[in-house]
Structure 1
Amino acid sequence: MKLQVRHKTTYRFDPPTRSMVQSLRLTPSAFEGQQINAWDITCDAGDCPVETGSSFTEGAGDHIMTVSVRGEVTEFTVTVTGEVETSDCSGVVKGLRDKVPPLAYLRQTTASWPNAVLKDLARDTLIDLGTAGVLQQAHALSKATSDALDFLPGETEASTSAAEAIGIGKGVCQDFTHVLIGMARASDIPARYVTGYLLSGSDGSAHEASHAWAELYVAGLGWVGFDAANECCPDERYIRLGSGFDAIDAAPIRGISVGEVDQEMLEELLVDVAVTQMQQ
């Protein structure tokens, strides 16, 4: 499937920042499930020049691009456009240049830390599976996550943890992913957070935002994706960007600003994502 992406992110600051450095994880991963036909990332900071720094592929196989801006920045825009050809690998990530040991992803973070409710849910989910393999266990944990949460925007925030989300019983893809990761790690299954794009949801409805899902490690098979929010494994509708321990670690755009900067300076954040299928 050929997918076309346009992703525009605009940050507006009041008062202006004095300078900033951004790390961009916005280039699709290189593996058997997807091929980049065209991809372009542009940054604009108004009258302030944008300098492109290092560009490299890090240990987890993600492509990182760094940019910096000097001067008083009132608005910073990152625009991504491109075309990616995808195929359905049943969620299995084949051929990714990944040098991080899977066991590293057993480490819990604040976002994924499982409380007693999550630990009990994970235990109860797996207890009836007996000697089932890790792949079956992973599917069961993903299904349990889907059953435990209702997809409802506006009920959680970017800082909401897995424990908080399971208490609310509602959330968005980030919450579903943190819950699944927390339960998987609590069950000794390495798991990581993945960011990317999605053409449409499981019901075929258009998906107008960046997306997130989990990958769990299965010995002999490798990393396998699970989108608990849509009750499926990633297929040709998905474009994979990068991964990390949680949403913060895997964020497509991360940065620091120089000067007396705090969250109150970020007056407005605008994100516009469009993923469309191209005619074959």
Structure 2
Amino acid sequence: MASTNSFLMLLHTLTVLILLFQSPTTSSLAMLLSIKHRTIYDYEAVPYRVGLRLMIFPRNFPHQKVHKWSVTVNGNEIDQQFENAYGEYEAIWLAYQPEMPIEIVAEGSVKVEDNSGVLQNLRIKTPNGIFLRQTELTNPNDDIRALAREVPAEGTLDMAHKLSKLISERVLYLAGKTNTATTAAEALQDGAGVCQDHAHLMISVARELNVPARYVVGYLYDPEQEDEYGDSHAWAELYIDTLGWVAFDPSNQVCPTDCYVRLTSGLDAKDAAPMRGLVVGTKAEAMDVKVTVDCITQ
């Protein structure tokens, strides 16, 4: 088994090196994906004021090209307004006693090429060292430190592959076991979780090993779920000295391919949330999210 894993890691490294010397336009593995991300907020009473921070504008970089994209709030189009320190595009929406419910729709099409998870020329203003900072959701405990010691590796890339596999074995994918407030340590203790928990745990261990790591939110095309409603997806990116930032998805045991659309990133799920809000005048909130991702061309 160990020799098989070593072979697969070597194969990934060779694939990455080949792709790095290719022109971004020469890749034969590409998909044009159609995405619709619909979120509805409703309240028991009309709020006096609502402010939304929207980070639902996918970026262009060599292996991800946005063909068209629109964001609307209650039918009114919202344009991206500024670029934050992580290089993500944002917009702010503010309303007094808005029409209820509040419906946010982000939709469009994005072409993605398979680059074995390597993010080439993704401009970012934030120093890599910022992504060594642990957060409330990623803070390591003794169990996480023990897990970090279980990942002997020949280089950072080898470590990342072994860690991704180890996490998928220790934390089984099981919806409903955790929630948005679950920490990496709690997910490891429970032995079950979802993509958010896998990403948090990988980030926590990587930072414990002094490897910068960040949380990524995006969309995943799954042919078996075409035309079905789902949710956004989450994975981790680690900084590999020889390659730069490389993405890893422990939930699916892959480095993201042309089935993945990158949306936002941050220190953890809270920091990378595509939408955040401030409500004045009411408390009870109901939220409904529906995401569809379909393949237009392959």
Q: TM-score, normalised by structure 1?
A: 0.90
Provide the C-alpha distance between the structure 2 equivalents of 1:30 and 1:152, rounded to a whole number of angstroms. 33
5 Å-filtered alignment, 1:222-233, equals 222-233=244-255
Amino acid at match of 1:19: R
Equivalent position to 2:275, from 247, 253, 256: 253
5 Å-filtered alignment, 1:103-118, equals 103-118=129-144
Deviation at 1:258, TM superposition (A): 2.2
Amino acid at match of 1:276: D
> Partner of 1:278 in structure 2?
296
Deviations 1:135-179 (A, max 9, x none): 111111111111111111001111000011001100110011111
Q: 1:122 to 1:205 in 2, by over 3 A?
A: farther
Deviation at 1:257, TM superposition (A): 1.4
Equivalent position to 2:59, from 29, 43, 61: 29
Provide the C-alpha distance between the structure 1 equivalents of 2:263 and 2:36, rounded to a whole number of angstroms. 14
The answer to whether the Cα contact below 8 Å between 1:177 and 1:228 also exists between their aligned partners in 2 is: yes
1:96 pairs with 2:122:
yes
> Partner of 1:236 in structure 2?
258
> Partner of 2:97 in structure 1?
71
The answer to whether the Cα contact below 8 Å between 2:61 and 2:122 also exists between their aligned partners in 1 is: yes
1:57 pairs with 2:83:
yes
SS at match of 2:71: strand
Amino acid at match of 2:58: P
SS at match of 2:118: coil
5+ residue gaps, structure 1, are none
Provide the C-alpha distance between the structure 2 equivalents of 1:29 and 1:224, rounded to a whole number of angstroms. 16
Provide the C-alpha distance between the structure 2 equivalents of 1:170 and 1:54, rounded to a whole number of angstroms. 37
Deviation at 1:54, TM superposition (A): 6.9
The answer to whether the Cα contact below 8 Å between 2:172 and 2:193 also exists between their aligned partners in 1 is: yes
Amino acid at match of 1:28: P
Provide the C-alpha distance between the structure 2 equivalents of 1:136 and 1:72, rounded to a whole number of angstroms. 51
Deviations 1:227-256 (A, max 9, x none): 001101101000000100000000000111
Aligned pairs, number: 265
> Partner of 2:224 in structure 1?
205
Q: TM-score, normalised by structure 2?
A: 0.85
Deviation at 1:59, TM superposition (A): 2.0
Provide the C-alpha distance between the structure 2 equivalents of 1:67 and 1:54, rounded to a whole number of angstroms. 11
The answer to whether the Cα contact below 8 Å between 1:112 and 1:161 also exists between their aligned partners in 2 is: yes
Deviation at 1:23, TM superposition (A): 0.9
5+ residue gaps, structure 2, are 1-30
Amino acid at match of 1:233: C
Task: Indicate the structure with greater strand content.
Answer: 1
Amino acid at match of 1:39: W
Provide the C-alpha distance between the structure 1 equivalents of 2:122 and 2:109, rounded to a whole number of angstroms. 19
Spell out structure 1 runs of 4+ moving beyond 2 A: 50-54, 204-208
> Partner of 2:27 in structure 1?
none
Provide the C-alpha distance between the structure 2 equivalents of 1:227 and 1:248, rounded to a whole number of angstroms. 18
The answer to whether the Cα contact below 8 Å between 1:14 and 1:74 also exists between their aligned partners in 2 is: no
The answer to whether the Cα contact below 8 Å between 1:22 and 1:254 also exists between their aligned partners in 2 is: yes
Provide the C-alpha distance between the structure 1 equivalents of 2:98 and 2:150, rounded to a whole number of angstroms. 54
Provide the C-alpha distance between the structure 1 equivalents of 2:142 and 2:82, rounded to a whole number of angstroms. 40
Provide the C-alpha distance between the structure 1 equivalents of 2:269 and 2:172, rounded to a whole number of angstroms. 19
Amino acid at match of 1:225: A
Kindly, what percent of the aligned residue pairs are identical? 39
Provide the C-alpha distance between the structure 2 equivalents of 1:13 and 1:73, rounded to a whole number of angstroms. 11
Deviation at 1:206, TM superposition (A): 2.2
SS at match of 2:206: helix
